[in-house]
Amino acid sequence: MESLERNKHLVQRLNIQSFVYKQQLSSTSARDKLISSVMANPTLAILELENNTIGPNGAQALSEALKTNSTLTTLTLFENSIRDNGAQALSEALKTNSTLTTLNLWGNAIGPNGAQALSEALKTNSTLTTLDLFGNSIGDNGAQALSEALKINSTLTTLNLRNNSIGSNGAQAISEALKTNSTLTTLNLGGSSIGDNGAQALSEALKINSTLTTLHLIGNSIGDNGAQALSEALKTNSTLINLNLWGNSIGPNGAQALSEALKTISTLTTLDLRENSIGPNGAQALSEALKINATLTIRTSQVLSEALKTNLSLTTLGLGGNSIGPNGAQALSEALRTNSTVTTLVVVF
């Protein structure tokens, strides 16, 4: 700690390990003093306090420092149990801070009230570009609050709400915001229980939105109906580049619907369909689409051997999560003999 104090004018990035923070600084006052001292550093740009259990009090100390700090651009607070009170404190700082661009709040037990506070801050903050709320508990009410901010905010480009149980109602609220938002480019709603209704709502937004380029919907049980809705949106959307539908109970009908859309679009470059149940018929449909679509990389558990023989743009093929068997391996081998573009092949046995 003394060394840090002596050389803090040279430090631009600081990662404080949990054993230092918890064991060497036993009292709350000592920890708060450290935070204040660190934040007074005139050169510090990145501060990482992962898994330190700073709690609401530590977040409050950080908040006070952020109100006057003019150099910090990235603040990472993974697994720190700051809860709603801590999120509320940080939100107050975001209303006046003009340098922070990235705020990572993974796994902090932040609920709807914390999300509401962050939402109010986003309505006036003009510098934050990335907000990561992975693994909190904001629920549909929290998603509703954030959606109101998205209708106004004009700087946020990346929002991660994975594993927040926002449900179909939360997805509906976010979808409404996407219809007017013109800055968000990456949205992660993985593991959020949005179901096919949530997917349908997002699909309506994608027909209008012209800025979103990456959409993660991992593990949301959207099924064939959700896939069908997304396929209709893809036919008119001209900006989405990456769509992750890993583990969504999509069957052959959903794969068929997506394949029809893929035949007519040229902007989507990556579609992840791993851990679904598209079956041989779904794989065949996607194979036919790949023969026409010259820009797409499909990550799926099925062997698309026939498509590989004619597709000249595919570079990465992931086959994890399924037993392709000796016949599938043989077909893949035959295709690779004539394909000259695949450089990465992932097969998990």
Which helix (H) or strand (E) element contains residue 345? strand 344-346
Amino acid at 64: E
Q: What is the dihedral of CA 27, 32, 33, 37, to 10 degrees?
A: 140
Q: What is the pLDDT of residue 349?
A: 46
Residue of 285, 272, 280, 287 whose CA lies nearest to 319: 272
pLDDT in tens for each of the 349 residues of the chain? 455 455 555 567 777 766 455 555 566 676 667 677 777 778 899 999 989 889 999 999 999 999 999 999 999 999 999 999 999 999 999 999 999 999 999 999 999 999 999 999 999 999 999 999 999 999 999 999 999 999 999 999 999 999 999 999 999 999 999 999 999 999 999 999 999 999 999 999 999 999 999 999 999 999 999 999 999 999 999 999 999 999 999 999 999 999 999 999 889 988 998 888 888 788 778 877 877 877 887 776 554 555 555 555 555 545 454 333 454 444 444 544 555 554 554 544 4
Q: What is the pLDDT of residue 295?
A: 81
Q: What is the pLDDT of residue 342?
A: 47
Q: What is the pLDDT of residue 7?
A: 53
Q: What is the pLDDT of residue 344?
A: 55
Reading the block at residue 205, the tokens are 């937004």
Give CA separation, 135 vs 107, 128, 163, 248, 312, in Å.
Answer: 5, 20, 5, 19, 39
Compute the half-sphere exposure of residue 30: CA atoms within 13 Å on the CB side of its CA.
9
Q: What is the pLDDT of residue 288?
A: 79
- Report the alpha-carbon distance of residue 176 to residue 70 in Å, rounded: 34
Are 230 and 202 in contact, with CB atoms under 8 Å apart?
yes
Which helix (H) or strand (E) element contains residue 7? helix 2-7
- Report the alpha-carbon distance of residue 90 to residue 1 in Å, rounded: 25
